[in-house]
Amino acid sequence: MKKLILLSLAVVLSTSCATLQKKDSKKTPPTDSSASKSKDKDAIKDYDKVITKEAITDEGLFKVHKIKDKYYYEIPNNKLEKDMLWVSRIAQIPTGLGGGYFNAGTKTNEQVVHWKRFQDKILLKVKSYASVADSTKAISNSVYVNNYEPTLYAFDIEAFSKDSTATVIDVTKFFSEDVKAISGLSSRLRSSYKVRNLDNSRSFINSMKSFPENIEVKQDMTYNASEPPSNSDTESISLQMNQSMILLPAEPMQPRLYDPRVGFFTVSQVDYGSEKLKADEKTYIRRWRLEPKDPEAYARGELVEPVKPIVYYLDPGTPENLQKYIKQGIEDWQKPFETAGFKNAIIAKDAPTKEEDPDFSPEDIRYSVVRYVASTTRNAVGPSVSDPRSGEIIESDIIWYHNHLRSYRNRYLLETGAANPSARTLDTPEEEIGEMMRQVIAHEVGHALGFPHNMAASFAYDVEDYRDGDFTQKNGIAASLMDYARYNYIAQPGDENIRFVRQMGPYDHYATNWGYRYIPGATTESEQTTLNKWILEKADDPRYRFGRQSSRFDPQSQTEGIGNDMLKASDYGLKNLKYVAKNLASWTSDQTNDYNDLEELYGELLGVYSRYVGHVTTNIGGVYETIKTPQQGGVVYTPVDKSTQQNSMQWLQSNVFDTPDWLIDTKILQNIDHAGYFEEVRNRQARVINDLLSFDTLGRLIDAETSSTNYYSAFEMLRDLRTGIWSETSGTKNVDIYRRNLQRTYLDRMAYLMTNDGPQNRFSRSGFEGTINYNVTTSDVRPLVRGELETLKRSLNSARNRSVNTVTKYHYADAIARIDDLLDGED
């Protein structure tokens, strides 16, 4: 009976469940694939219902449709999952946004994207080539799943083309929203200006144009901001952005492996498919794709035009009187390209007029432009965008800021005025200013061709060569235009036929040939033998040496320095600068009847003085870096010899720590400021003291004991510095205001060394290495500093009992008290 009841109950429950499931099926959407397809079909409209007869269509990479205030992309299916470079730039900018280095043309982001279908959506994915592997190898799957691509945006599919070969999406919202990855306002700027949000009512798509390989979109964006950089009453920031998207080549350019002995900007990848027993980091140089039109003639050694030359257009806003100099600066690179076998490889053109090309825009990624920026910033830059797969440079914009010529006029007057009569004026002759601009443009174009600064190029020539007219006219003032060697400040009054302005040098021809010469039939790997051979042929000639921008420790690779002996070069430089200082008023305020230019140039004169001093300072604790391979023999790093370092210390005592009275010209100072003269001098002295008494310099001096027998020890340097700065303590001489300030600055820095733990991380910016990381508390630093302070205290106790004035006695007593406080605090 129980079994019968249970069986009956089971039948009832089974029937009930079946009934419930049947009722629920009316409320739950189907989950099988056919049901999903049916739903997609309902959601995705017919083409004619989306792209109506009102559509204004632009053919190109994608079809771009405009219907009233809506924009649609019609993406060909064969363009899905194709790599495209997306570059975001500011097209128009409000006054003051971002400080001096933001302008119309500034790039705010560069990223590789591709469009990908997922169910009923099109995803815009950001792709990285930082990690790669051959797609035929199993590990490529691991690379893929461990480097998942972020989705920048997801678009609903609106329709398919009538022949089903393309997909239609609505991009209106994407380009009207505040999408951070393509915005002109970084997180830092948003924080600085207290940006609240994008105001959609004042933001709109300005234009959208499609070309065969790229799409260009202009957006007008207005943000609500509590503290905008200008027009503060509006509490708004309005700017126009240009979004460029260009299809990358289906076949990437053959990359060329980087060699640190020749300077190039680079792109890097970690190749997990390498046969080496580790992930293999491969670094490629960045360069334009230059291939000969006639490979046979090129192989015979004839000059051949490239298939696609590098073309730079001049900004339509470039002043008429400067245009020829900009064009010359661009085309100066034709000669180095001829060394690499190409003629007419780089060409300067005027921007087309509206009648000639109504679609021309400086922001269009198809065009490289020299942008002339109406800004008070004093600089010029040469950025570029490149294909991360191969290093191929796709496009670049040279940025020239209007006031930059003023910097060059000032430096021309200050650095060459003693030996160069035509520089002794505020109205520099136009041809000379034009020549300066030409060389600056050529320098920035060099960056855009892939070349970084080569700071060793100015160390290639002997100091005395700079006083030889024939030599300077032929060789300029550095072996490369890519050095920061702007003027010949060594030439002396009476030297004749001197070239004062930089120019292209032999290294520029050498590096262009190394990076751009086409090697027929070679692969990235097999061409290494040829490239290495070219380097070895020039390895012992300093004119072809590359020096990183590592002036933190290498005396031969210093910014703004010229000549192979910094002591002698700075001697000549200071001799000239003293002549200029005496005549500064007569060349400026006496001519203009106001003190504005005098004040500006005096401030810059102090900067020039500091640079000359800094070049000598780097000798102390300096290490020469000569980049080489084991095959070449010798070592890469060599400490500066003891004699040079000792002479450098003596030079600093004479030219910096002994008060440089020639800088304190009351005829200048009392006409440009009411007070603070002593502090101007102390600031310059403090920079040198801080450099010498840095953990970095002391660390290198200590380390030299481990690698050299002819070294200047940290103990010797500290002793020589103390005895020079505190020389008054050995006699009865009173200490004047300048020396008192200097000596207290010394004590402040010694206190820093006793209390600070030193750098915690190695400075890792490529090309700027210098900071060393070591355990300060277990090193010799603190014992050496303590010993110097105790020795100084004994000298001070003796000195204050001698016949000196009251202020000097007070000064000595204060110094003793400071030392006591410091050493007592350490006990």
> What average pLDDT does the segment 430-441 reach?
94
Strand-pairing partners, residue 208, are 217
Contact 590, 569 (CB under 8 A): no
Q: Compute the average pLDDT of residues 195-220.
A: 94
| C-alpha closest to that of 501 among 570, 578, 411 | 411
Average pLDDT, the chain: 90
Mean per-residue pLDDT, 475-481: 96
What pLDDT was estimated at residue 1?
A: 43
Instruction: Say if strands 623-625 and 380-381 run parallel, antiparallel, or are unpaired.
Output: unpaired
Q: What is the pLDDT of residue 760?
A: 66
Among 143-147, 532-536, 635-639, the least confident range:
143-147
Q: Kindly state the percentage of the chain with pLDDT values over 90.
A: 76
Q: Buried b / exposed e across 775-805, counting CB within 10 Å, b at 16+? A: ebeebbbeebbbebbeebbebbeebbeeebe
Query: Mean pLDDT, to the nearest integer, of 602-606?
Result: 94
pLDDT of residue 391: 95
C-alpha of 343 from chain center: 30
pLDDT at site 550: 64
Indicate the domain borders of the chain.
2-30, 47-247, 255-457+499-540, 588-826
What per-residue confidence (pLDDT) applies to 599? Answer: 93
- Name the band, by pLDDT with cuts 50, 70 and 90, for residue 96: confident
Contacts of 784 (CB under 8 A, 6+ apart): 698, 714, 715, 718
pLDDT for 22 equals 37
Query: Is pLDDT at 30 greater than 60 in this prediction?
Result: no
Confidence (pLDDT) at 761: 61
pTM of the model: 0.89
Residue count of the chain: 827
**pLDDT at res. 279:** 79
Confidence of residue 560 (pLDDT cuts 50, 70, 90): very high
Least confident of 274-278, 394-398, 421-425, 679-683: 274-278
With a CB cutoff of 8 Å and minimum separation 6, the contacts of 286 are 264, 265, 266, 267, 384, 386, 391, 392, 393, 450
- Judged against a pLDDT cut of 90, whether residue 9 lies above it is answered with no
pLDDT score at 42: 57
- Residues in contact with 554: Cβ distance below 8 Å, sequence separation at least 6, in sequence order: 455, 547, 548, 618, 622, 623, 624, 625
Provide the pLDDT for residue 104: 81
Residue 769 confidence (pLDDT): 56
Out of 11-20, 249-258, 531-540, least confident range: 11-20
Q: Over 70: is that where the pLDDT of 678 sits?
A: yes
Taking a C-beta distance cutoff of 8 angstroms, is the pair 270, 281 a contact? yes
Q: According to the model, what pLDDT value does residue 34 have?
A: 39
Stretch 677-682: mean pLDDT, rounded? 85
Q: Which two three-digit tokens encode residue 604?
A: 């810059």
pLDDT in tens, 31-58: 333 334 444 555 899 999 999 999 999 9
Instruction: Supply the pLDDT for residue 16.
Output: 42
Q: Which tens digit of pLDDT belongs to each residue from 295-352?
A: 999 999 999 999 999 999 999 888 899 999 999 999 999 999 999 999 999 999 999 9
CA distances from 301 to 78, 290, 294, 297, 538 (A): 41, 16, 11, 7, 21
Q: Residue 26: is its pLDDT beyond 50?
A: no
Output phi, psi for 747, to 5 deg. -65, -40
Say if residue 5's pLDDT is above 70: no
Long-range contacts of 430-435, Cβ-Cβ distance < 8 Å, separation of 24 or more: 430/321, 432/501, 433/405, 433/408, 433/409, 434/322, 434/324, 434/325, 435/325, 435/501
Other CB atoms within 10 Å distance of the CB of residue 469: 13
Confidence of residue 674 (pLDDT cuts 50, 70, 90): confident
Residue 647 has what pLDDT? Answer: 98
Q: How confident is the model at residue 382 (pLDDT cuts 50, 70, 90)?
A: confident
pLDDT of 447 strictly over 90: yes
| Residue reference for tokens 């030599």 | 471
State CA 59 to chain mean position distance: 38
At 736, the pLDDT band (50, 70, 90 cuts) reads very high
pLDDT of residue 317: 87
Would you put residue 346 in left (φ > 0), alpha (ψ -120 to 50) or beta?
A: beta
Q: Which residues contact 127 (CB under 8 A, 6 or more apart)?
A: 83, 111, 112, 113, 114, 149
- Side-chain half-sphere exposure of 518, counting CA atoms within 13 A: 28
Residue 824 binned pLDDT confidence (cut-offs 50, 70, 90): confident
Please state, in angstroms and rounded to a whole number, the distance separating the CA atoms of residues 456 and 416.
22
How does residue 8 score in pLDDT terms, banded at 50, 70 and 90? Answer: very low
Looking at per-residue pLDDT, the higher value among 402 and 343 belongs to: 343
pLDDT of residue 762: 55
Give me the DSSP letters along 631-694. GG-S-SEEEPPHHHHHHHHHHHIIIIIS--GGG--HHHHHHH-SS-HHHHHHHHHHHHHHHHTS
Indicate the pLDDT class of residue 11, thresholds 50, 70 and 90.
very low
Q: Which of 75-89, 137-151, 741-755 has the lowest mean pLDDT?
A: 137-151
Residues 6+ apart with CB under 8 A from 163: none
